Amino acid sequence: MPGPSAGRTHRIQAVFFDFGGTLVDEQDIAGWVDEALRLGLDLSPDDLSHVYADVLRETDRPLRPPFREFWKMVLEGAAQRPVPPGLVDRFVRSYQDRERPLPLFSDTRRCLEELRAEGRRLGVISNSRGEEFLREMLRRRGIGEFFDTLVSSGTEGVSKPDPEIFRRALGRLKVSPGAAFYVGDLAFTDAKSAAAVGMHSVWLNRGGTGFGEDPPEVTSLLEIPGWVRSLEGTG
């Protein structure tokens, strides 16, 4: 629960979420291993899982690598050898064309229900293919009705950690940064970048301890309503 921010009395009007890794589990290790094998690259699921997490953490910085370069790093790290450029390209095309499971995390719906019951406006800020794609993914998972606005990098032409995408989301709901809260699963790209534009934010680190302070860290979405109330001085 927040320490330094507790005691403030302003209203948190809007809560924004990242999509993949926050509301839904975007990891599809079995599917990625199968696709790599189909392309002639035999990978261990454990190796792929660990390397994916490591590369995600290593590339969480101001200048994030392009999508293809990210997957080149993952595949070569898991294979422990160079991977032909053509194979990387085919893997990326398959990744983009094939629909992934993207199951809801078990804490997602309850968090959204609690925030909505308190009268909060909700939104998504996502580095994703486009707003319509994002809308459809949320609808299929039964949570589309919770959100007042969706802001996708594929539609906006700007992506996190660029502060502009956060400003556009605030503008959509006509709320000031100080009246908004953001949660995402990347420390810099999500939490620190939202904080840089004046929003309250936390890093959702599901595998962490929950004690991190730079940025503030939580391990479950179930903590978010309490954080928001504490910021208002009502928690």
**Residue 191 is assigned to a structural domain of this protein:** yes
Note whether residue 7 is domain-resident: no
1 is a domain residue:
no
pLDDT, one tens digit per residue, over 96-143 is: 898 889 999 999 999 999 999 999 999 999 999 999 999 999 999 999
173 in the same domain as 113: yes
Both 65 and 129 in one domain: the answer is no
In this structure, what CATH number is given to the domain that contains residue 193?
Answer: 3.40.50.1000
Q: How many domains in the chain?
A: 2
Helix (H, G, I), strand (E, B) or coil at 15: strand
8 is a domain residue: no
CA atoms within 13 A on the CB side of 66: 5
pLDDT > 80? residue 217: yes
User: Of the residues 42, 73, 97, which one is the last residue of a structural domain?
Assistant: 97
Q: Give tens-digit pLDDT for 167-185.
A: 999 999 999 999 999 999 9
Structural domain boundaries enclosing 153: 14-25+102-231
Q: Of 97, 128, 153, which marks where a domain is finished?
A: 97
Residues 86 and 121 in one domain: no
Side-chain-side CA neighbours of 18 within 13 Å: the count stands at: 27
In a 10 Å sphere around its CB, with 0-12 CB exposed, 13-18 middle and 19+ buried, how is residue 56 labelled? Answer: middle
- The CA–CA distances, whole Å, from 175 to 121, 180, 225 equal 10, 7, 18
Residue 34 counted as domain residue: yes
- Compute φ and ψ for 33, nearest 5 degrees: -65, -45
